[in-house]
Structure 1
Amino acid sequence: MSIEVLSIIVLFVSFFILLMLKVPVAFSIGISTTISLLLNIDSLPGITTIAQRMITGIDSFALLAIPFFVLAGEIMKRGGIANRLINFAKSLVASLPGGLAYVNVLASMLFGAISGSAIAATSAIGSIMTDRMEEEGYPREFSASVNITSSTTGLLIPPSNILIVYALASGGTASVAALFIAGYLPGILLGLALMGYVAFVAIRRKFSKEQRAPLKEIWTYFRKAFFSLLLLFIVVGGIVAGVFTATEASVIAVLYAAILALIYGDIRVKDFPSVLLTSAKTTAVVMFLICTSMAMSWLFSFESVPELMSNFLLEQFSNKFVIFLVINIILLIVGTFMDITPAVLIFTPIFLPVVVALGMDPVHFGIVMVLNLCIGLCTPPVGTILFVGSGVAKISVSQVIKPLLPFLAIMVIVLLLVLYIPEISMFLPRLFDL
């Protein structure tokens, strides 16, 4: 056995052992990477190299967008925007069978897109909608399932922090602007698919529906939500038009959200230190994950793992569509025990060369990968959104698993459609020549 193969085995074995011992993911990645590298070189240069790779891994102007988008999302979460979006969504779809479930999906899509955070959408929308839906006869388990799965659409519909992370991991082969515009149709398709299943359940169980809102009421709620929705067009439109970069757009998002929250009166100036502190904590966790993940990603390159994986897959499977399917099965498994940020940073350098060699566009693969790992966020044992959504609904994880399964099946079907029909994600980037 070569030292390279032994090093990779030690890396994965130590990583899984640390995870089973409930060591935080970022520390598990950093420790296992260090142990693996020390098999190749002496301790002092090895530890120095890991530290250097961690620092250089976040030495990127594009990554500055993440703390600002996190801050913008926190301001929006506290600024009453969720209520305005829920009321607007309710005026549009509450008259349909299972109307409040539609409201949950649509509000999660809008809030997740505006905040760029699936967790923020889960907690903000779920904390409001679960009680409302229970009053109308919806089981809390069903409401939680709707909330958990629909909140992932915010990771596809821009602005999305994870798409910025993928752009970094891709080594510049996929631009942030192209990824942002490519995420629209898959994100909307996922939302519509979830609504389709909601309609089926609502008709079968005869869930209640409300009276159709008059146009005057719809206009009133739209007017109240308009400036919140406008942020999407300002940020994404500015990036696509080349007016500003994603990082500059994130700063604009913070200023816009802060001014809007102050005008609405939902946040006062004295509340901002608390908002900044919460955002700083979230940013620190994300950035440390990125640091250690970039070090592990470098180790994979150092050990020629992408080349080994590419050769293995091409030798074992002759059909590129089968290879795409195998890669997605691996990512589905990875997503069940690893958070989305380190998964993107670690596995993009491994699989991207393989799919590009087979003719897949890096932007297309980025959307497929993020959508794939979104499913992992909704599944045990590590599913962050699963635990947040269950906590917000005040039910146990075991209670939500059974009603969640059909929604996960819908997500897998959408994943396969996006995987094998590239036009779903590539139509808009090609239209805008990105």
Structure 2
Amino acid sequence: MTLSAGLLLLFLFFLLLLIGVPIAISIAGASILTMLILFPFDVAVFTSAQKLVSGLDSFSLLAIPFFILSGIIMNNGGIAIRLINLAKIISGRMPGSLAHTNVVGNALFGSISGSAVAAAAAIGGVMSPLQEKEGYDRTYSTAVNVASAPTGLLIPPSGLLIVYSLVSGGTSVAALFIAGYLPGILWAIATMIVAYVIAKKKNYPVSAKISFSEKIKVFLDAIPSLLLIVIVIGGIIAGIFTATEGSAIAVIYSFILSLCYRSLKLKDIPRILVETVEMTAIIMLLVAASSILSIVMSFTGIPEAITSGILSLTDNPIVILLLMNIILLFIGTFMDITPAVLIFTPIFFPIVSSFGMDPVHFGIMMCLNLCIGSITPPVGSALFVGASVGKVKIEQVTKPLLPFYGAIIVVLLAVTYIPEISLFLPNLLDL
């Protein structure tokens, strides 16, 4: 009975997705219908309602709306142009200098805003016209912008890592935050290497030399924006406040900073709050729906069945992690990152725990993998936004993205099979 119910759960879920039902409703609908088969009507309804509420009863989840609000304030607060000016200095004078500025700008802005879509829109919106003016091919500049947009999802503060912490049973948020730095930086470097090779081949120009005094001025101008990361992450690591308290501090700091820059008006606040509520509601509904799914999966034995199936094929951790990466790369092409983390963490986590993989290492591997889905067709959100900002069609930018995909997958494999990339900084800081 439980096996057939598990198959029904999967069938209903994918059927609802195929006919265009929103993913949160698909998860909740398939789960509740399966519960009605497994249990009497009153028990199924009561249990489903209880899990909807208890799934959101977590102090850690409060960090998500605050980080979203902080990111939206930053998006509207004149931060992007200051970080772009800083990125010009960091990226240096190489062939295709503006493309490298785009990559560094996405890493900086994405880490502050916590959104690949926001980075692709804000940084790409400024850089694409500049690159076109300098003679860059529009598909190349768009590919660079899209390929580097998700780096900020790994570099903290990251709401995605908070979701993983919750669903994995309380993995340290501080350790996950610090663990995301090196993989995120490696992703950016890999993108820059590909951008450099292409720029060198196409003989794209080098940016004008910037004087030392101008560099100092740009750096000082960007310090207040960068201090957000220092204050929030530093405070979390030092134990001064929790990730949730840090997210509230991020809101206050970003609000005051935006007012100081005079780029945020008080009349914008209602619109910003509404946008925050809308984005938070989407994530929270996914978390609540996934709470029902988790209990249904435990009753039907789906995680155990998948675990047994994978372990029956091989008990070699190298092969198992390769299979997981292939599955997650496929899932990421049609499912958003947050629901994928909510659904597949309970399935894969017991498997990696069985051969002693560190939960922080697995979390970074999984999130990095699924971030790739945000820049791949057919449903990559950052891909669509980047193409729109770059004024190119999806099919035009897909081919230029291929070498970037290759470089990013190399980074994924390195993060998967070299635990020290993820664990070096957390171990260094004794997290």
Identify whether the pair has TM-score above 0.5, normalized to the shorter chain. yes
Q: Is the 8 A contact 1:294 1:346 kept in 2?
A: no
1:276 aligns with 2:273: yes
Q: Deviations along 1:380-423, whole A, 9 cap, x unmatched?
A: 22211111211222222111111111111111110000000000
1:99-110 equivalences in 2 (<5 Å): 99-110=97-108
Q: Which runs of 4+ in 1 moved over 4 A?
A: none
Q: 1:238 aligns with which of 220, 226, 235?
A: 235
Deviation at 1:129, TM superposition (A): 1.1
> Does structure 2 retain, via aligned residues, the 8 Å contact 1:92–1:213?
no
1:20, distance to aligned residue in structure 2 (A): 1.6
TM-score normalized by structure 2?
0.98
Distance 1:294 1:284 in 2: 15
Displacement of 1:234: 0.6
Residue equivalent to 2:133: 135
AA paired with 1:188? I
1:292 aligns with 2:286: no
2:173 matches 1:176: yes
CA distance in 1, matches of 2:161, 2:78: 26
Q: Deviations over 1:76-120 (max 9, x none)?
A: 000010011011112333521100000000000000011111111
CA distance in 2, matches of 1:241, 1:298: 36
RMSD (Å) for aligned C-alpha atoms: 1.2
When structure 1 is superposed on structure 2, of 298-307 and 363-372 the one drifting more is: 298-307
Give the Å deviation of 1:147: 1.3
Looking at structure 2, the residues matched to 210 and 118 of structure 1 have their Cα atoms a distance apart, in angstroms, of 26
- What secondary structure does 2:196 align onto? helix
Measured in 1, the distance between the counterparts of 2:143 and 2:56 equals 35
- Residues 32 and 44 of structure 2 are in contact (CA less than 8 Å); yes or no, is this contact kept in structure 1? yes
- Tell me the alpha carbon deviations over residues 213-262 of structure 1, each in whole angstroms, 9 at most, x when there is no partner: 11111111111111001111111111011000000000000000000000
* 1:21 and 2:19 matched: yes
* Counterpart residue number, 1:419: 416
SS of corresponding position for 2:377: coil
Q: Structure 1 pair 168/398, CA: closer, same or farther in 2 (3 Å)? A: same
User: Tell me, what secondary structure is at the counterpart of 2:149?
Assistant: helix
CA distance in 1, matches of 2:185, 2:106: 12
The answer to whether the 8 A contact 2:90-2:104 is kept is no
Q: Is 1:354 aligned to 2:344, yes or no?
A: no
Q: Could you tell me how far 1:56 is from its partner in structure 2?
A: 0.9
For residues 33-68 of structure 1, give each alpha carbon's deviation from its aligned partner in whole angstroms, at most 9, with x where no partner exists. Answer: 112222211233213322221211111000000000
**TM-score under structure 1 length normalisation:** 0.97
> What amino acid is the match of 1:232?
I
Name the stretch that deviates more: 82-91 or 298-307: 298-307
Q: Is the 8 A contact 1:127 1:393 kept in 2?
A: yes
Q: Where does structure 2 lack aligned partners over 5 or more consecutive residues?
A: none
AA aligned to 1:134 is E
Give 2:333's aligned residue. Answer: 336
Matches within 5 A, 1:280-429: 280-429=277-426
Identity %: 52
- Contact 2:3/2:301 (CA < 8 Å) preserved in 1? no
Question: Matches of 1:189 and 1:48 in 2, distance apart?
Answer: 47
Give the corresponding residue for 2:86: 88
1: distance between equivalents of 2:30 and 2:140? 39
Report what 1:204 is aligned to: 201
Contact 2:140–2:397 (CA under 8 A) maintained in structure 1:
yes
Aligned partner of 1:293: which letter?
S
Secondary structure, in 3 states, of the residue corresponding to 2:333? Answer: helix
Q: Per the alignment, in what secondary structure is the counterpart of residue 150 of structure 2?
A: helix
Deviation at 1:369, TM superposition (A): 0.2
Query: Do 2:6 and 2:301's aligned partners in 1 also have CA atoms closer than 8 Å?
Result: no
SS in 1 for 2:287: helix
Which of 200, 222, 225 pairs up with 1:228? 225
